[in-house]
Chains A and B, each alone.
Chain A
Amino acid sequence: MLLLTCPWCGPRDETEFHYGGQAHVAYPATPADLPDQEWAEYLFYRDNAKGAFAERWVHSTGCRRWFNAVRDTVTYDVLAVYKPTDPRPDAAMAGTSPETSS
Protein backbone atom coordinates (compact mmCIF):
# COMPACT_ATOMS: atom_id res chain seq x y z
CA MET A 1 0.00 0.00 0.00
CA LEU A 2 1.27 3.48 -0.81
CA LEU A 3 1.97 5.93 1.98
CA LEU A 4 0.94 9.36 0.70
CA THR A 5 1.60 12.63 2.48
CA CYS A 6 -1.36 14.96 2.18
CA PRO A 7 0.04 18.51 2.17
CA TRP A 8 -2.62 19.50 4.70
CA CYS A 9 -3.01 16.39 6.89
CA GLY A 10 0.33 14.59 6.77
CA PRO A 11 1.13 10.95 5.94
CA ARG A 12 -1.85 8.64 5.48
CA ASP A 13 -2.56 5.21 3.99
CA GLU A 14 -3.43 5.02 0.30
CA THR A 15 -6.92 3.77 1.20
CA GLU A 16 -7.82 7.31 2.39
CA PHE A 17 -7.24 8.71 -1.10
CA HIS A 18 -8.62 8.50 -4.60
CA TYR A 19 -6.53 8.81 -7.71
CA GLY A 20 -7.05 11.61 -10.23
CA GLY A 21 -4.64 10.82 -13.06
CA GLN A 22 -2.22 13.20 -14.71
CA ALA A 23 -1.79 16.63 -13.10
CA HIS A 24 -1.43 19.98 -14.86
CA VAL A 25 -3.88 19.24 -17.70
CA ALA A 26 -5.32 22.64 -18.49
CA TYR A 27 -8.79 23.16 -19.91
CA PRO A 28 -8.45 24.44 -23.48
CA ALA A 29 -8.19 28.22 -23.67
CA THR A 30 -10.46 28.50 -26.71
CA PRO A 31 -12.65 25.38 -26.62
CA ALA A 32 -14.98 26.53 -29.39
CA ASP A 33 -12.07 26.66 -31.82
CA LEU A 34 -10.66 23.19 -31.15
CA PRO A 35 -10.61 20.70 -34.00
CA ASP A 36 -11.81 17.17 -33.16
CA GLN A 37 -8.33 15.71 -32.80
CA GLU A 38 -7.35 18.36 -30.26
CA TRP A 39 -10.57 17.74 -28.32
CA ALA A 40 -9.73 14.04 -28.36
CA GLU A 41 -6.32 14.85 -26.97
CA TYR A 42 -7.77 16.97 -24.19
CA LEU A 43 -10.41 14.39 -23.29
CA PHE A 44 -8.68 11.07 -23.81
CA TYR A 45 -4.92 11.40 -24.22
CA ARG A 46 -2.80 11.53 -21.08
CA ASP A 47 0.89 10.99 -20.53
CA ASN A 48 1.63 7.41 -19.48
CA ALA A 49 5.13 7.94 -18.15
CA LYS A 50 7.36 5.07 -17.13
CA GLY A 51 9.24 6.88 -14.36
CA ALA A 52 8.54 10.23 -12.68
CA PHE A 53 4.89 11.22 -13.20
CA ALA A 54 3.02 14.29 -11.87
CA GLU A 55 -0.42 13.12 -10.81
CA ARG A 56 -3.46 14.19 -8.80
CA TRP A 57 -4.84 12.64 -5.61
CA VAL A 58 -7.78 13.64 -3.42
CA HIS A 59 -7.81 12.96 0.32
CA SER A 60 -11.35 11.54 0.22
CA THR A 61 -11.68 10.35 3.81
CA GLY A 62 -9.64 13.21 5.26
CA CYS A 63 -9.70 16.88 4.32
CA ARG A 64 -11.29 16.05 0.94
CA ARG A 65 -8.89 18.38 -0.82
CA TRP A 66 -6.96 17.72 -4.01
CA PHE A 67 -3.19 17.84 -4.24
CA ASN A 68 -0.48 16.79 -6.65
CA ALA A 69 2.28 14.25 -6.27
CA VAL A 70 5.29 13.27 -8.32
CA ARG A 71 5.57 9.50 -8.12
CA ASP A 72 7.87 7.07 -9.88
CA THR A 73 5.57 4.67 -11.75
CA VAL A 74 8.17 1.90 -11.68
CA THR A 75 9.40 1.99 -8.08
CA TYR A 76 6.19 3.65 -6.80
CA ASP A 77 8.38 5.98 -4.69
CA VAL A 78 6.65 9.28 -3.97
CA LEU A 79 9.21 11.91 -4.95
CA ALA A 80 7.23 15.02 -3.97
CA VAL A 81 3.79 16.21 -2.89
CA TYR A 82 2.60 19.74 -3.46
CA LYS A 83 -0.52 21.89 -3.52
CA PRO A 84 -2.44 22.25 -6.80
CA THR A 85 -1.50 25.92 -6.96
CA ASP A 86 2.22 25.12 -6.80
CA PRO A 87 4.32 24.56 -9.92
CA ARG A 88 5.50 21.09 -10.83
CA PRO A 89 8.79 20.52 -8.95
CA ASP A 90 11.51 20.06 -11.55
CA ALA A 91 13.90 18.22 -9.24
CA ALA A 92 11.33 15.56 -8.47
CA MET A 93 10.44 15.19 -12.15
CA ALA A 94 14.10 14.49 -12.78
CA GLY A 95 13.74 11.63 -10.33
CA THR A 96 15.70 13.18 -7.48
CA SER A 97 14.26 14.20 -4.16
CA PRO A 98 15.40 13.99 -0.53
CA GLU A 99 11.76 13.22 0.36
CA THR A 100 11.88 9.86 -1.39
CA SER A 101 9.91 7.26 0.54
CA SER A 102 8.61 3.82 -0.20
Chain B
Amino acid sequence: MGGNGMSAQTDPRHLPEHPDWLWRNPDPKPSYDAIVIGGGGHGIATAYYLAKNHGMTNVAVLEKGWLAGGNMARNTTIIRSNYLWDESAGIYEFALKLWEQLPAELDYDFLFSQRGVLNLAHTLQDVRESTRRVNANRLNGVDAEWLDTDEVAKICPILNVSPDIRYPVLGATFQPRAGIAKHDHVAWAFARAADRLGVDFIQNCEVTGFLKDGARVVGVETSRGPISAGVVGMAAAGHSSVLAERAGFRLPIQSHPLQALVSELYEPVHPTVVMSNHVHVYVSQAHKGELVMGAGVDSYNGYGQRGSFHVIEHQMAAAVELFPIFARAHVLRTWGGIVDVSPDASPIIGQTPVENLYVNCGWGTGGFKATPSAGWTMAHTMATGQPHPLNAPFALERFATGALIDEHGAAAVAH
Protein backbone atom coordinates (compact mmCIF):
# COMPACT_ATOMS: atom_id res chain seq x y z
CA MET B 1 0.00 0.00 0.00
CA GLY B 2 1.77 3.08 -1.21
CA GLY B 3 2.31 5.99 1.14
CA ASN B 4 2.49 9.54 -0.09
CA GLY B 5 4.78 11.07 2.51
CA MET B 6 2.75 14.25 2.74
CA SER B 7 1.72 15.89 5.98
CA ALA B 8 -1.67 17.21 7.00
CA GLN B 9 -0.28 20.71 6.59
CA THR B 10 0.19 20.23 2.85
CA ASP B 11 -1.42 22.93 0.72
CA PRO B 12 -4.97 21.59 0.18
CA ARG B 13 -4.89 22.75 -3.43
CA HIS B 14 -2.32 20.04 -4.05
CA LEU B 15 -3.97 16.78 -3.13
CA PRO B 16 -1.70 13.87 -2.28
CA GLU B 17 -1.11 11.38 -5.01
CA HIS B 18 -3.39 8.41 -5.11
CA PRO B 19 -1.87 5.41 -3.34
CA ASP B 20 -0.55 2.68 -5.60
CA TRP B 21 -3.27 0.44 -6.99
CA LEU B 22 -3.13 -3.09 -5.68
CA TRP B 23 -4.08 -4.58 -9.03
CA ARG B 24 -4.29 -3.49 -12.67
CA ASN B 25 -7.65 -2.68 -14.21
CA PRO B 26 -7.26 -4.28 -17.63
CA ASP B 27 -9.68 -4.59 -20.53
CA PRO B 28 -10.75 -8.16 -21.27
CA LYS B 29 -8.66 -10.21 -23.70
CA PRO B 30 -10.58 -12.19 -26.36
CA SER B 31 -9.65 -15.51 -24.78
CA TYR B 32 -8.55 -17.02 -21.46
CA ASP B 33 -7.63 -20.51 -20.31
CA ALA B 34 -9.99 -20.05 -17.37
CA ILE B 35 -12.68 -17.54 -16.46
CA VAL B 36 -14.06 -17.10 -12.97
CA ILE B 37 -17.44 -15.36 -12.80
CA GLY B 38 -17.72 -13.25 -9.69
CA GLY B 39 -15.03 -11.06 -8.15
CA GLY B 40 -15.89 -11.66 -4.53
CA GLY B 41 -13.63 -13.35 -2.03
CA HIS B 42 -14.23 -16.85 -3.38
CA GLY B 43 -13.72 -15.83 -7.01
CA ILE B 44 -10.55 -13.92 -6.24
CA ALA B 45 -9.15 -16.77 -4.14
CA THR B 46 -10.03 -19.24 -6.91
CA ALA B 47 -8.02 -17.20 -9.41
CA TYR B 48 -5.11 -16.92 -6.98
CA TYR B 49 -4.92 -20.68 -6.48
CA LEU B 50 -5.39 -21.40 -10.20
CA ALA B 51 -2.24 -19.36 -10.76
CA LYS B 52 -0.27 -20.42 -7.69
CA ASN B 53 -1.15 -24.11 -7.38
CA HIS B 54 -1.82 -25.01 -11.01
CA GLY B 55 0.32 -22.61 -13.01
CA MET B 56 -2.70 -21.23 -14.85
CA THR B 57 -1.98 -17.54 -15.26
CA ASN B 58 -4.05 -16.78 -18.37
CA VAL B 59 -7.06 -16.31 -16.11
CA ALA B 60 -9.74 -13.64 -15.83
CA VAL B 61 -12.12 -12.83 -13.01
CA LEU B 62 -15.25 -11.13 -14.35
CA GLU B 63 -17.06 -8.91 -11.87
CA LYS B 64 -20.29 -7.11 -12.74
CA GLY B 65 -19.68 -4.40 -10.15
CA TRP B 66 -16.45 -3.66 -8.34
CA LEU B 67 -14.09 -6.15 -6.78
CA ALA B 68 -15.27 -7.55 -3.43
CA GLY B 69 -18.31 -5.26 -3.26
CA GLY B 70 -20.95 -7.93 -2.59
CA ASN B 71 -21.07 -10.29 0.36
CA MET B 72 -17.29 -9.96 0.80
CA ALA B 73 -17.94 -6.36 1.89
CA ARG B 74 -21.01 -7.24 3.97
CA ASN B 75 -20.18 -10.22 6.17
CA THR B 76 -19.45 -10.19 9.89
CA THR B 77 -15.89 -11.54 9.35
CA ILE B 78 -16.12 -14.54 11.68
CA ILE B 79 -13.70 -17.39 10.99
CA ARG B 80 -14.12 -20.78 12.70
CA SER B 81 -14.08 -24.46 11.80
CA ASN B 82 -16.14 -26.07 14.59
CA TYR B 83 -18.66 -27.77 12.31
CA LEU B 84 -20.24 -31.07 13.27
CA TRP B 85 -19.87 -33.34 10.26
CA ASP B 86 -16.62 -34.79 8.97
CA GLU B 87 -16.98 -33.30 5.49
CA SER B 88 -17.54 -29.82 6.89
CA ALA B 89 -14.78 -30.08 9.46
CA GLY B 90 -12.48 -31.09 6.60
CA ILE B 91 -13.10 -28.11 4.36
CA TYR B 92 -13.47 -25.48 7.12
CA GLU B 93 -10.46 -26.66 9.11
CA PHE B 94 -8.36 -26.68 5.94
CA ALA B 95 -9.48 -23.07 5.47
CA LEU B 96 -8.48 -22.19 9.04
CA LYS B 97 -5.02 -23.68 8.51
CA LEU B 98 -4.68 -21.57 5.35
CA TRP B 99 -5.86 -18.46 7.21
CA GLU B 100 -3.03 -19.05 9.70
CA GLN B 101 -0.41 -18.90 6.96
CA LEU B 102 -1.95 -16.42 4.51
CA PRO B 103 -0.83 -13.13 6.08
CA ALA B 104 2.79 -14.24 5.57
CA GLU B 105 2.18 -15.92 2.21
CA LEU B 106 0.36 -12.90 0.77
CA ASP B 107 2.65 -10.46 2.60
CA TYR B 108 -0.36 -8.52 3.82
CA ASP B 109 -1.51 -8.00 7.39
CA PHE B 110 -5.28 -8.27 7.11
CA LEU B 111 -5.70 -8.28 10.91
CA PHE B 112 -6.43 -11.98 11.32
CA SER B 113 -7.10 -12.16 15.05
CA GLN B 114 -7.47 -15.58 16.66
CA ARG B 115 -9.45 -14.33 19.62
CA GLY B 116 -11.63 -17.44 19.85
CA VAL B 117 -15.32 -18.09 19.32
CA LEU B 118 -17.82 -18.97 22.04
CA ASN B 119 -20.99 -20.77 20.93
CA LEU B 120 -23.40 -20.43 23.85
CA ALA B 121 -25.74 -23.14 25.13
CA HIS B 122 -28.97 -21.99 26.75
CA THR B 123 -30.99 -25.18 27.13
CA LEU B 124 -30.33 -28.77 28.11
CA GLN B 125 -30.65 -29.74 24.46
CA ASP B 126 -28.13 -27.06 23.52
CA VAL B 127 -25.73 -28.49 26.11
CA ARG B 128 -26.07 -32.00 24.69
CA GLU B 129 -25.60 -30.87 21.10
CA SER B 130 -22.67 -28.69 22.07
CA THR B 131 -20.78 -31.38 23.95
CA ARG B 132 -21.41 -33.76 21.08
CA ARG B 133 -20.00 -31.19 18.66
CA VAL B 134 -16.92 -30.65 20.86
CA ASN B 135 -16.21 -34.38 20.74
CA ALA B 136 -16.82 -34.54 16.99
CA ASN B 137 -14.50 -31.56 16.47
CA ARG B 138 -11.73 -33.17 18.54
CA LEU B 139 -11.96 -36.39 16.59
CA ASN B 140 -11.45 -34.32 13.44
CA GLY B 141 -8.45 -32.45 14.85
CA VAL B 142 -10.39 -29.22 15.36
CA ASP B 143 -9.59 -27.42 18.61
CA ALA B 144 -12.70 -27.36 20.79
CA GLU B 145 -13.51 -27.14 24.47
CA TRP B 146 -16.67 -27.30 26.54
CA LEU B 147 -16.78 -24.50 29.13
CA ASP B 148 -19.14 -24.19 32.08
CA THR B 149 -20.82 -20.89 32.92
CA ASP B 150 -18.00 -19.62 35.17
CA GLU B 151 -15.37 -20.37 32.56
CA VAL B 152 -17.46 -18.57 29.92
CA ALA B 153 -17.66 -15.51 32.20
CA LYS B 154 -13.87 -15.50 32.58
CA ILE B 155 -13.36 -15.39 28.82
CA CYS B 156 -16.07 -12.81 28.16
CA PRO B 157 -16.74 -10.81 31.35
CA ILE B 158 -19.37 -8.52 29.78
CA LEU B 159 -21.66 -11.47 29.05
CA ASN B 160 -24.74 -11.69 31.26
CA VAL B 161 -24.40 -15.10 32.96
CA SER B 162 -27.14 -14.51 35.51
CA PRO B 163 -29.33 -17.59 36.04
CA ASP B 164 -32.35 -15.29 36.11
CA ILE B 165 -32.54 -14.31 32.45
CA ARG B 166 -35.00 -15.94 30.05
CA TYR B 167 -32.32 -18.06 28.37
CA PRO B 168 -29.48 -18.40 30.90
CA VAL B 169 -25.99 -19.26 29.68
CA LEU B 170 -25.51 -22.90 30.73
CA GLY B 171 -22.11 -23.13 29.12
CA ALA B 172 -20.45 -22.78 25.74
CA THR B 173 -18.21 -24.43 23.26
CA PHE B 174 -14.96 -22.56 22.68
CA GLN B 175 -12.66 -22.72 19.68
CA PRO B 176 -9.52 -20.77 20.64
CA ARG B 177 -8.08 -20.69 17.08
CA ALA B 178 -11.22 -19.09 15.66
CA GLY B 179 -11.52 -15.34 15.29
CA ILE B 180 -12.03 -12.49 12.85
CA ALA B 181 -10.18 -10.80 9.97
CA LYS B 182 -10.61 -7.58 8.03
CA HIS B 183 -12.76 -8.82 5.16
CA ASP B 184 -12.00 -6.10 2.61
CA HIS B 185 -8.27 -6.45 3.17
CA VAL B 186 -8.52 -10.22 2.74
CA ALA B 187 -9.96 -9.70 -0.73
CA TRP B 188 -7.39 -7.05 -1.59
CA ALA B 189 -4.54 -9.26 -0.36
CA PHE B 190 -5.64 -12.16 -2.56
CA ALA B 191 -6.28 -9.84 -5.52
CA ARG B 192 -2.88 -8.18 -5.33
CA ALA B 193 -1.13 -11.56 -5.19
CA ALA B 194 -3.19 -12.98 -8.06
CA ASP B 195 -2.66 -9.86 -10.16
CA ARG B 196 1.09 -10.20 -9.71
CA LEU B 197 0.83 -13.77 -10.99
CA GLY B 198 -0.89 -12.47 -14.14
CA VAL B 199 -4.61 -12.78 -13.37
CA ASP B 200 -6.83 -10.14 -15.01
CA PHE B 201 -9.48 -8.66 -12.74
CA ILE B 202 -12.14 -7.19 -15.03
CA GLN B 203 -14.67 -5.00 -13.28
CA ASN B 204 -17.97 -3.63 -14.61
CA CYS B 205 -18.24 -6.77 -16.71
CA GLU B 206 -21.48 -8.70 -16.29
CA VAL B 207 -21.86 -12.19 -17.72
CA THR B 208 -25.08 -12.15 -19.75
CA GLY B 209 -24.88 -15.56 -21.38
CA PHE B 210 -22.76 -18.60 -22.14
CA LEU B 211 -21.10 -19.63 -25.40
CA LYS B 212 -21.53 -23.33 -25.99
CA ASP B 213 -20.29 -25.94 -28.41
CA GLY B 214 -22.87 -28.69 -27.98
CA ALA B 215 -22.98 -29.59 -24.30
CA ARG B 216 -19.65 -27.86 -23.61
CA VAL B 217 -19.13 -24.26 -22.51
CA VAL B 218 -16.49 -22.47 -24.59
CA GLY B 219 -16.87 -18.94 -23.32
CA VAL B 220 -19.18 -16.25 -22.02
CA GLU B 221 -21.18 -13.34 -23.36
CA THR B 222 -20.58 -10.24 -21.30
CA SER B 223 -21.58 -6.60 -21.13
CA ARG B 224 -18.09 -5.97 -22.58
CA GLY B 225 -18.38 -8.47 -25.41
CA PRO B 226 -17.85 -12.21 -25.87
CA ILE B 227 -14.84 -13.86 -24.24
CA SER B 228 -13.81 -17.42 -24.96
CA ALA B 229 -12.52 -19.71 -22.25
CA GLY B 230 -11.18 -23.21 -21.73
CA VAL B 231 -13.03 -23.65 -18.45
CA VAL B 232 -15.50 -21.44 -16.62
CA GLY B 233 -16.22 -21.32 -12.90
CA MET B 234 -19.15 -19.60 -11.24
CA ALA B 235 -18.64 -17.93 -7.85
CA ALA B 236 -21.64 -15.63 -7.82
CA ALA B 237 -23.21 -16.36 -4.41
CA GLY B 238 -26.74 -14.91 -4.36
CA HIS B 239 -26.90 -14.66 -8.14
CA SER B 240 -25.83 -18.25 -8.84
CA SER B 241 -29.38 -19.28 -9.84
CA VAL B 242 -29.60 -16.42 -12.32
CA LEU B 243 -26.31 -17.48 -13.93
CA ALA B 244 -27.28 -21.16 -13.92
CA GLU B 245 -30.50 -20.34 -15.73
CA ARG B 246 -28.47 -18.54 -18.40
CA ALA B 247 -26.31 -21.65 -18.71
CA GLY B 248 -29.36 -23.92 -18.96
CA PHE B 249 -29.48 -25.77 -15.66
CA ARG B 250 -31.00 -25.39 -12.19
CA LEU B 251 -29.47 -25.16 -8.74
CA PRO B 252 -31.20 -26.22 -5.51
CA ILE B 253 -30.61 -22.89 -3.79
CA GLN B 254 -32.75 -20.01 -2.62
CA SER B 255 -31.47 -16.44 -2.38
CA HIS B 256 -32.32 -14.62 0.84
CA PRO B 257 -31.43 -11.26 2.34
CA LEU B 258 -28.99 -11.52 5.25
CA GLN B 259 -28.65 -8.43 7.40
CA ALA B 260 -25.98 -7.21 9.79
CA LEU B 261 -25.28 -4.05 11.71
CA VAL B 262 -22.52 -2.11 13.44
CA SER B 263 -22.58 0.23 16.40
CA GLU B 264 -20.65 3.42 16.76
CA LEU B 265 -17.01 3.06 17.76
CA TYR B 266 -16.32 2.10 21.36
CA GLU B 267 -13.22 1.35 23.36
CA PRO B 268 -12.39 -2.38 23.48
CA VAL B 269 -14.98 -4.14 25.65
CA HIS B 270 -15.53 -7.45 23.87
CA PRO B 271 -12.48 -9.71 23.84
CA THR B 272 -13.76 -12.62 21.76
CA VAL B 273 -16.58 -13.64 19.39
CA VAL B 274 -19.89 -14.74 20.91
CA MET B 275 -22.49 -16.66 18.96
CA SER B 276 -25.82 -17.81 20.27
CA ASN B 277 -27.92 -20.10 18.16
CA HIS B 278 -30.79 -20.13 20.62
CA VAL B 279 -31.45 -16.42 21.17
CA HIS B 280 -29.85 -15.91 17.78
CA VAL B 281 -27.26 -13.25 17.52
CA TYR B 282 -23.53 -13.19 16.98
CA VAL B 283 -21.33 -10.39 18.17
CA SER B 284 -17.72 -9.37 17.93
CA GLN B 285 -15.89 -6.07 18.15
CA ALA B 286 -13.93 -4.91 15.16
CA HIS B 287 -10.38 -3.65 15.63
CA LYS B 288 -11.55 -0.09 15.00
CA GLY B 289 -14.14 -0.39 17.78
CA GLU B 290 -17.53 -1.10 16.22
CA LEU B 291 -19.65 -3.85 17.72
CA VAL B 292 -20.50 -6.06 14.74
CA MET B 293 -23.70 -8.11 14.93
CA GLY B 294 -25.53 -10.51 12.71
CA ALA B 295 -28.13 -13.24 12.91
CA GLY B 296 -30.25 -15.30 10.53
CA VAL B 297 -31.62 -14.60 7.09
CA ASP B 298 -34.89 -12.88 6.33
CA SER B 299 -37.41 -15.65 5.69
CA TYR B 300 -38.43 -14.64 2.19
CA ASN B 301 -36.55 -14.94 -1.09
CA GLY B 302 -34.96 -11.65 -2.03
CA TYR B 303 -32.38 -10.11 -4.32
CA GLY B 304 -32.75 -6.60 -2.91
CA GLN B 305 -29.65 -6.47 -0.63
CA ARG B 306 -31.97 -5.34 2.15
CA GLY B 307 -34.33 -7.00 4.59
CA SER B 308 -37.05 -6.24 7.10
CA PHE B 309 -36.31 -4.12 10.16
CA HIS B 310 -37.96 -6.49 12.63
CA VAL B 311 -35.08 -8.89 11.93
CA ILE B 312 -32.63 -6.21 13.10
CA GLU B 313 -34.81 -5.49 16.15
CA HIS B 314 -34.79 -9.18 17.03
CA GLN B 315 -31.02 -9.50 16.92
CA MET B 316 -30.53 -6.30 18.91
CA ALA B 317 -32.97 -7.54 21.56
CA ALA B 318 -30.96 -10.76 21.79
CA ALA B 319 -27.70 -8.82 22.01
CA VAL B 320 -28.97 -6.59 24.83
CA GLU B 321 -30.22 -9.62 26.75
CA LEU B 322 -26.78 -11.21 26.55
CA PHE B 323 -24.77 -7.98 26.89
CA PRO B 324 -26.64 -5.52 29.12
CA ILE B 325 -23.97 -2.84 28.59
CA PHE B 326 -24.96 -2.68 24.91
CA ALA B 327 -28.32 -1.16 25.86
CA ARG B 328 -27.01 2.35 25.42
CA ALA B 329 -24.89 1.69 22.36
CA HIS B 330 -26.04 3.36 19.18
CA VAL B 331 -26.54 1.60 15.89
CA LEU B 332 -24.47 3.29 13.25
CA ARG B 333 -25.50 1.35 10.18
CA THR B 334 -27.42 -1.71 9.04
CA TRP B 335 -27.14 -3.39 5.66
CA GLY B 336 -27.99 -6.55 3.78
CA GLY B 337 -26.43 -8.95 1.34
CA ILE B 338 -27.91 -11.73 -0.78
CA VAL B 339 -26.98 -15.19 0.39
CA ASP B 340 -27.47 -18.46 -1.49
CA VAL B 341 -28.97 -20.99 0.89
CA SER B 342 -28.82 -24.68 0.00
CA PRO B 343 -31.23 -27.33 1.30
CA ASP B 344 -28.68 -28.83 3.72
CA ALA B 345 -26.90 -25.57 4.63
CA SER B 346 -23.74 -26.88 2.99
CA PRO B 347 -22.01 -25.53 -0.10
CA ILE B 348 -22.11 -26.93 -3.62
CA ILE B 349 -18.67 -27.07 -5.25
CA GLY B 350 -18.04 -29.06 -8.37
CA GLN B 351 -19.14 -29.92 -11.86
CA THR B 352 -22.42 -28.75 -13.40
CA PRO B 353 -24.54 -30.49 -16.05
CA VAL B 354 -22.68 -28.29 -18.59
CA GLU B 355 -19.26 -29.61 -19.57
CA ASN B 356 -16.30 -27.43 -18.53
CA LEU B 357 -18.58 -25.28 -16.37
CA TYR B 358 -18.05 -25.50 -12.60
CA VAL B 359 -19.94 -23.99 -9.72
CA ASN B 360 -19.13 -22.82 -6.22
CA CYS B 361 -22.27 -21.71 -4.40
CA GLY B 362 -24.66 -22.51 -1.59
CA TRP B 363 -22.47 -21.15 1.22
CA GLY B 364 -25.49 -19.35 2.60
CA THR B 365 -24.62 -17.33 5.66
CA GLY B 366 -21.15 -18.75 6.20
CA GLY B 367 -18.96 -18.32 3.15
CA PHE B 368 -16.40 -15.79 4.37
CA LYS B 369 -14.60 -18.18 6.71
CA ALA B 370 -14.17 -20.66 3.86
CA THR B 371 -12.68 -18.17 1.38
CA PRO B 372 -9.26 -19.87 1.21
CA SER B 373 -10.46 -23.48 0.97
CA ALA B 374 -13.30 -22.65 -1.40
CA GLY B 375 -10.74 -21.01 -3.68
CA TRP B 376 -8.26 -23.86 -3.28
CA THR B 377 -10.74 -26.66 -4.03
CA MET B 378 -12.55 -24.78 -6.80
CA ALA B 379 -9.22 -24.07 -8.50
CA HIS B 380 -8.30 -27.75 -8.22
CA THR B 381 -11.65 -28.78 -9.71
CA MET B 382 -11.40 -26.32 -12.60
CA ALA B 383 -7.76 -27.07 -13.38
CA THR B 384 -7.96 -30.87 -13.24
CA GLY B 385 -11.61 -31.51 -14.11
CA GLN B 386 -11.88 -33.56 -10.93
CA PRO B 387 -12.94 -32.53 -7.44
CA HIS B 388 -10.37 -32.18 -4.69
CA PRO B 389 -10.98 -34.76 -1.92
CA LEU B 390 -12.19 -31.92 0.31
CA ASN B 391 -14.94 -30.77 -2.03
CA ALA B 392 -15.90 -34.14 -3.55
CA PRO B 393 -18.65 -34.68 -0.92
CA PHE B 394 -20.10 -31.27 -1.79
CA ALA B 395 -21.05 -32.16 -5.36
CA LEU B 396 -24.42 -31.20 -6.82
CA GLU B 397 -25.22 -34.92 -7.21
CA ARG B 398 -25.70 -35.34 -3.46
CA PHE B 399 -29.26 -34.06 -3.71
CA ALA B 400 -30.13 -37.02 -5.94
CA THR B 401 -28.06 -39.64 -4.10
CA GLY B 402 -29.30 -38.46 -0.71
CA ALA B 403 -25.79 -38.05 0.74
CA LEU B 404 -26.66 -34.69 2.27
CA ILE B 405 -24.32 -32.90 4.68
CA ASP B 406 -26.95 -31.57 7.01
CA GLU B 407 -25.42 -28.63 8.83
CA HIS B 408 -28.75 -26.96 9.67
CA GLY B 409 -28.36 -26.45 13.38
CA ALA B 410 -25.51 -28.93 13.52
CA ALA B 411 -23.05 -26.25 12.47
CA ALA B 412 -23.29 -24.45 15.82
CA VAL B 413 -25.54 -21.75 14.42
CA ALA B 414 -28.88 -21.72 12.66
CA HIS B 415 -28.95 -20.54 9.09
- A15 touches which of B253, B254, B310 (Cβ 8 Å): B310
What chain A residues lie within 8 Å of B310 (beta carbons)?
A: 1, 13-15
Given contacts A14-B308, A15-B310, contact A40 B399 (CB under 8 A): yes
A55 close to B301 (CB less than 8 A):
yes
Given contacts A19-B300, A36-B400, A71-B300, contact A48 B254 (CB under 8 A): yes
How far is B255's CA from A41's CA once the two chains are assembled, in angstroms?
17
Chain A residues bordering chain B, tally (CB within 8 A): 27
Say yes or no for A18: interface residue by CB 8 A criterion: yes
What chain B residues lie within 8 Å of A73 (beta carbons)?
A: 255, 300-304
Within 8 A of B (CB), among A42-79: 43-46, 48-50, 53, 55, 71, 73-76
How far is B399's CA from A46's CA once the two chains are assembled, in angstroms?
13
What chain A residues lie within 8 Å of B299 (beta carbons)?
A: 18-19
Interface of B is mostly: loop
Say yes or no for B252: interface residue by CB 8 A criterion: yes
B308 close to A2 (CB less than 8 A):
yes
- Shortest beta-carbon distance, A37 to chain B, in Å? 5
What chain B residues lie within 8 Å of A44 (beta carbons)?
A: 252, 343, 399
How far is B308's CA from A14's CA once the two chains are assembled, in angstroms?
9
What chain A residues lie within 8 Å of B254 (beta carbons)?
A: 21, 46, 48
**Which partner residue on chain B sits nearest A35 by CB separation?**
B400
B241 close to A48 (CB less than 8 A):
yes
What chain A residues lie within 8 Å of B401 (beta carbons)?
A: 36
What chain A residues lie within 8 Å of B158 (beta carbons)?
A: none
- Shortest beta-carbon distance, A59 to chain B, in Å? 14
- Shortest beta-carbon distance, B303 to chain A, in Å? 5
Chain B residues bordering chain A, tally (CB within 8 A): 23
Interface string of B279-318 (1 = CB under 8 A from A): 0000000000000000000011111100011100000000
A74 close to B303 (CB less than 8 A):
yes
What chain B residues lie within 8 Å of A71 (beta carbons)?
A: 300
Which of the listed residues B254, B303, B402 has the most CB atoms from chain A within 10 Å of its own CB?
B303
A50 close to B308 (CB less than 8 A):
no
How far is B310's CA from A13's CA once the two chains are assembled, in angstroms?
10
Say yes or no for B242: interface residue by CB 8 A criterion: yes
How far is B127's CA from A58's CA once the two chains are assembled, in angstroms?
32
How far is B226's CA from A50's CA once the two chains are assembled, in angstroms?
24
**Which partner residue on chain A sits nearest B301 by CB separation?**
A73
- Shortest beta-carbon distance, A21 to chain B, in Å? 7
B302 close to A76 (CB less than 8 A):
yes
How far is B252's CA from A18's CA once the two chains are assembled, in angstroms?
21
Say yes or no for B251: interface residue by CB 8 A criterion: yes
Say yes or no for B408: interface residue by CB 8 A criterion: no
Say yes or no for B250: interface residue by CB 8 A criterion: yes
Interface string of A65-98 (1 = CB under 8 A from B): 0000001011110000000000000000000000
How far is B242's CA from A53's CA once the two chains are assembled, in angstroms?
14
Say yes or no for A39: interface residue by CB 8 A criterion: yes
Which of the listed residues A44, A45, A53 has the most CB atoms from chain B within 10 Å of its own CB?
A44
- Shortest beta-carbon distance, B316 to chain A, in Å? 15
Which of the listed residues B242, B252, B255 has the most CB atoms from chain A within 10 Å of its own CB?
B252
- Shortest beta-carbon distance, B245 to chain A, in Å? 9
- Shortest beta-carbon distance, A74 to chain B, in Å? 5
What chain B residues lie within 8 Å of A76 (beta carbons)?
A: 302, 304
How far is B401's CA from A14's CA once the two chains are assembled, in angstroms?
37
What chain A residues lie within 8 Å of B309 (beta carbons)?
A: 1
How far is B301's CA from A21's CA once the two chains are assembled, in angstroms?
8
What chain A residues lie within 8 Å of B303 (beta carbons)?
A: 50, 73-74
Q: 30 A–B contact pairs at CB < 8 A?
A: A1-B308, A14-B308, A14-B310, A15-B310, A19-B299, A19-B300, A36-B400, A36-B401, A36-B402, A39-B400, A40-B399, A43-B343, A44-B252, A44-B399, A45-B251, A45-B399, A48-B242, A48-B253, A48-B254, A50-B239, A50-B303, A55-B300, A71-B300, A73-B255, A73-B300, A73-B301, A73-B302, A73-B304, A74-B303, A75-B304
Q: Which 4 A-B pairs have the closest CB atoms?
A: A48-B241, A19-B299, A44-B252, A40-B400
Q: Hey, which bits of chain B sit against chain A, CB under 8 A?
A: 239, 241-242, 250-255, 299-304, 308-310, 343, 399-402
Seed contacts A15-B310, A19-B299, A41-B250; 14 additional CB < 8 Å A-B pairs: A1-B310, A18-B299, A21-B254, A21-B301, A36-B400, A40-B252, A45-B399, A48-B251, A50-B242, A50-B303, A73-B255, A73-B301, A73-B304, A74-B304
